[in-house]
Chain A
């Protein structure tokens, strides 16, 4: 197990180095710089140059890179140019927000998706199966931001059921938190539900067709018994693998949903950083996301390896 872990960690480290190089490439290549947020169109080239100097932007890229890597070794992601605080603080402050959104969405998606998948598998090729699968496919085909906008229009503007956007922290006001998170989480969950339902159905079907199920049936166990004690646990293992993919997809979806619902999460921070050329935020944010993504995948791999010894020998 230890060797497995070391191999994984080494691989993850290399990926992180590549990610940081890529973010430098983005910064080097993307035209424009943060001065545009400070100055208006009447700024003379001298004023722009002076501000660039003050912000430390006129240093050669190599120096900036070495500087950044040096700071990273101390765990310092730098200072945001436009937000006036450390990138680490900004990220840590926003992480719970994005986690709220993604975990509520994941819970919803798992609850609805897994149940729907089971219903579909058990009623294979009959009408509940068709209905579930069609609904799942629809879920995968809807543009997430469009759905979000439509929901806002309907539930927030027309029928004043939910707020139009923004985020209320859980600690501050649990009811408010719930209200502010429901629509975004539902929007985010819709895409995942389809995927999870299809996956669950497929792996349930595969498991149900296997010999040990037929044996259990022959032994006289009730259908429910078979399902819950033998079928489901085995079917869930591949669903676990999917968890890694879903995590990545959720993170990406969260990025857009945060824009639509004006939720101050990590995704919005990074998009904002890209659009305003806040370089430390871009670099720190992308690295942070990569760490989370790799972390989740690693956790899933470890769980999988713990369950299935064959994987460890890979």
Chain B
């Protein structure tokens, strides 16, 4: 009797255990999610472009050797792991077994080698792999990479999502830039690209999730797809995007302005997600052109600006006041030496201005026609007017502005965002200022700090180097950080388990069907 009872209880318990996950999961397979994105991707060849629009899609159909987890740390994705030699110059990657490409081919070492070599030739951020000496398949599922010098950031570089070092089949990797068939190992496969309209991807039923990972984890993790397909519609007009969401034509918007988000918050048909921080708003100085070549002038401007006003107008309801050059929560994040951030002190500014050689000349603030950037420029212009600095706005479309901004003449100020760099880490934040690329004049302090950072493998030392960099940015007013801004993303309430990230990840989400 007693034994039966025990057995009965156990059986009941087992039955309950089996039933509960079934009930609690309620993930429904199926459905197509339409996402409204701002721009069309210039290419779906992940290697050749750093555009966000491309990443939104490529990071779902391709995978990389290492990928960033939810803390932006590099973890193995297509690799099982890595063995690094004593001297830090040899990396031996074991490739996962049984991974399938979308065309059924099994992933092997030569695919990895071909993809990495291709990236070194045509990659948009090919410099990430500058430290590589040789790449070789040292086994059917082993790839060994030797570096010329020790590089503390090698795994970070390999897993950089900016222009991902996607692993293609060797046959595709042999093709020139932009000429590939879009075949990857990711949980989605490419279906169609209709120019000026949309890109469609669908669930890849042959996908082999990473057995060493658990659940959703940043851009890595164990990815499971419930949706049948995802369509990315290109909709540059904010008004059209919002209207399409409210008309039920799209289920997720990549970005929504503050007032709309506020309005939809109270509507139970939608869920509003706040992605903060998503990027820095930065105001750059041209160090090759007077008076911004003069440190006193720059310090004067830095002291004068009321950054809260800049952020509140440019990014209403979706900004953070933070003077650090990393996102809060990052390993090396510190607010030390950010005293000069957001001083908003007009009299101190005037004093510094007097020390500079500024005689009232008209200065040029270049900016593209993204509303937030022109708003930043407008606020700065009005504020600087109050201490007698005459600034004129020169608004042009992005190709023009990004061209002028990388020449030493024709501009004094330039405002735009830096999104992916702070996410990637300290080296990425420092890189734009190395070699004078962004400020148009070499800064030896920064160049030295950057070299030290990449050469040093010791955490403590690297943390200090970054802190020194941050101090230099403020003491020298190399460029000004206005603050952190974010995105509002709005989804239909039917989209379940969505968690915003650097891209709208469509794995581990499902549509409520009723």
Binding site for B on A (CB under 8 A): 30-48, 50-51, 54, 80, 82-85, 90, 94, 149, 152, 156-157, 160, 163-166, 259-262, 264, 268-269, 272, 275-277
Contacts and interface: CB of A to CB of B under 8 A. Distances in A.
A43 B50 contact: yes
* Most chain A CB within a 10 A radius of its CB, from B43, B402, B418: B402
A38 B399 contact: no
A38 B237 contact: no
B197 interface: yes
A166 B416 CA distance: 30
B243 A47 contact: no
Contacts of A45: 406, 437
Nearest to B421: A42
Nearest to B401: A32
Given A40-B50, A152-B239, 9 more contacts: A30-B400, A31-B400, A36-B402, A40-B51, A42-B431, A47-B126, A149-B239, A157-B242, A275-B397
B113 interface: no
B153 interface: no
B243 A32 contact: no
B195 interface: yes
B90 interface: no
Instruction: List the 8 closest A-B pairs by CB distance, nearest first.
Output: A32-B399, A164-B243, A36-B399, A83-B195, A32-B400, A165-B240, A38-B49, A37-B42
B242 to A, nearest CB: 8
* Most chain A CB within a 10 A radius of its CB, from B195, B418, B428: B195
Contacts of A163: 244, 247, 249
A255 to B, nearest CB: 14
B399 A262 contact: no
Contacts of A156: 243, 247
B125 to A, nearest CB: 7
Nearest to A269: B196
Contact of A47 (B124, B240, B418, B428): B124
* Most chain A CB within a 10 A radius of its CB, from B176, B397, B428: B397
Nearest to A42: B432
Contacts of B404: 31
B249 A166 contact: yes
20 contacts: A31-B396, A34-B42, A36-B402, A38-B48, A42-B50, A42-B428, A152-B239, A156-B243, A156-B247, A164-B239, A164-B249, A165-B235, A165-B243, A259-B237, A262-B235, A262-B237, A262-B240, A268-B196, A269-B196, A276-B399
B237 A165 contact: yes
B191 interface: no
Given A43-B50, A165-B237, A165-B240, A36 B403 contact: yes
* Most chain B CB within a 10 A radius of its CB, from A38, A156, A260, A275: A38
B7 interface: no
Contacts of A41: 402, 405, 416, 418, 432, 438
Interface residues of B, number: 53
A37 B51 contact: yes
Interface in B206-258: 233, 235-237, 239-240, 242-244, 246-247, 249
A291 to B, nearest CB: 21
B247 A84 contact: no
Given A33-B399, A36-B403, A45-B437, A165 B418 contact: no
Contacts of B398: 32, 36-37
Interface in B387-403: 396-403
B42 A82 contact: yes
A80 B195 CA distance: 10
A157 B246 contact: yes
A165 B124 contact: no
Contacts of A54: 122, 176-177
B127 interface: yes
Contacts of A160: 247
Nearest to A89: B195
B244 A165 contact: yes
Nearest to A263: B196
Given A45-B406, A83-B196, A164-B240, A38 B124 contact: yes
Contacts of B240: 152, 164-166, 261-262
A49 to B, nearest CB: 11
A98 to B, nearest CB: 12
A85 B195 contact: yes
Nearest to B403: A32
Contacts of B405: 41
A166 B249 CA distance: 10
A84 B193 contact: yes
Interface in B328-378: none
Contacts of B31: none
B162 interface: yes
Contact of A84 (B127, B178, B438): B178
A277 B435 contact: no
A105 B236 CA distance: 24
Nearest to A276: B399
B247 A32 contact: no
